[in-house]
Chains A and B, each alone.
Chain A
Amino acid sequence: MNNIIEIKKLSKSFPGTLANDNISFNIKNNSVHAILGENGAGKSTLVKILYGILEPDNGTILLNNKNFAVKSPSESRNLGIGMVFQHFSLFDSLTVAENLVLGLDENISFSKLKEQVESISLKYELPLDYDAPITNLSAGEKQRVEIVRILLQNPKVLIMDEPTSVLTPQEVDKLFVTLRKLINDDKTILYITHKLEEVKKICDEVTIMRNGKIIETCNAKNEDVKSLASKMLGKKLPEIEKSKINSDNKKTVFEVNNLDLKYNDPFLVDLNNISFKVREGEIFGIAGIAGNGQSEIMNILTGEEIIKKKSAIKCFGTDIGNLGPKKRREMSIAFVPEDRLGHSAIPQLSLLDNVLLSQFKGNQFSKFGVINKNEIKEKTIEIIKNFNVVTTGYNSFAGSLSGGNLQKFVIGREILSNPKILIISHPTWGIDAGAELFIRQSLINLAKKGTAIIVISQDIDELLEITDRISVIYKGNLSDPLDTKNISLEKLGLLMGGKF
């Protein structure tokens, strides 16, 4: 088998980081080649260079033994390279057909396009509702539109960037069927991922990246999940310690009763009759694919959106639906929203200033509206120390911290307020494995002390690891909770697909 792509001594730097450091490896024709690495390992930079979005500082790429130096994605498409992005680039208000036409470089009539799309759909098992608006599609269907759009250009190499991050387990299986068909049809797939099981399941060869460098390129069949993990992380991670207290007989401290909210907005998800209860010392998970109402629920739980029916949310028996975030914090409820850049923290401000963002009852951060800087400084130092935040000091900008360190800082800020209830959305999104483990352990330790925790997450592994019970949200409906101990992945997948 000959190589379709050869990468030689490729380097790319950004201010402050060397994203790709002297990278060399080959991709065999007609194979699924994985690039495995953690967030920040340099995978995205590499594929962006291949697709012509970025230019390398140094190095050569050969495509079919010919020099390949493209300056734009359209050049790259003309040479037979297509890419499916992790975040879809579709126009929500247009139909599938209109989106497909927009992605094409040449003019083509709708009827001819329909013929082509139908043959592609049939050949690779990618069923599409041609006239449906994108808004009405599930994540899996949107991804199919993206794949068909790329296949219309008949590429030889298909780059897929974290394709399964928004799919249910069942949708992942369907995607893999399509990928195998593509391979049978003489295509090559470059598969970017940080999920080890997927490498084992679908890939032929795997290139492992860490800190911008290639660690190794090896045959995926000869590796197991453990060996891949240690190569990817560069060290063995300790196991999470999960000796939890039994919260079955504890009292309910936080409940949501028949929360019903119609937004009348096509870009927001209506919430239908949502109810759940959380007990003292319990970690309650809300699973589901992104865009099924998680951000709407989070806004209501934090009080950033106030609801009229105040009895829909109860904390220690008090109605709090009509209280804003400040009042809720005074009741010892702490929050960590998903986005740490500009929501739970402000990148342009120092860590010191960021501490002041969430003020709890009993702190001495201000008196008569005048800020007490010493008190805040002490708190900042305490957070940095107790939560292993790597930073140059309390005066550094929040934006200068890595994702993992900033997330540790934000979560530390909330945990050190000794909350009775912690509501947290996607706690380990986009951070390195070390910080991920640290944060999960911190949450478990907090629950041991009696805090009730609500975790909204797309990461099923995370929820299985730390929660006591899990409910699934689908199109604004919340399933009955399941005990995490006896849960099956298949059942969870069905729930995530809306089969309650």
Chain B
Amino acid sequence: MRYIEPHAHMVSRTTSDYEALAYAGCKAVNEPAFWAGFDRSSGDGFYDYFRQITEYEPKRAAKFCIDHYCWLCINPKEAEDVGLAREVISIIPNFIPADNVLGIGEIGLNKNSKNELLILEEHIQLAADHDQMILVHTPHLEDKLKGTKLIVDALNNQSKIDPSKVIIDHVEEHTANIVLSNGYWAGMTLYPESKVTHNRAIDMLEMFGDENVWLNSACDWGISDPLSVPKAALEMRRRGYDDEYIDKIVYKNPVQFMSQSGKFKLH
């Protein structure tokens, strides 16, 4: 089986995980910039982080014949500090030309605060100004429904944004239709404690269709599984889906979305 892991925070995973991904058939990983588990104290911390995901991680992935792509931003969990967020946004244009940068992300909201929304709008403007695709994080648990609505409104308010070049990730049953009906792509994250299980993701494919969707693990430093996409593919097979359908969901769909960036090329 071949597949793409379209949302993985590989900086917090071991090299053994790259090996496991390769054994499972992973051809490329997508690494959105995220929260490190603690708040960074200055823009310099982000400068080094952006160097890590544009220079170092692609080399680590390449040792296992996996292509590595990334997205840049300051995560909404750190966006309450507007001064820091603007400092980080100001250095992002220096990294956009890097070969593996596909866009701005994972931007979005966390607790749906006024400052988070302000910084989200500034990230959207940055993407519009630099003709970049966008990868969006939606809030957790009780905050997801409200946050998804605020995010879709913010994106719809920027006329330069093409919804087909935006993926809104971590959708669940109560938010998927909000995303898809507005023309955006939807990501289903296989992270059982706070997002969806394999079977719920497959249920959503049955309910909302198999176009403009992808499955991802969002594996990070938390309790998460870098092999959750191939495990979901196995579950699809157990439920009777054929190889062609599974290939569309776990390979062709993410390739279709990411190929909208001229930089995405599978080796």
Q: Do A and B share a complex?
A: no
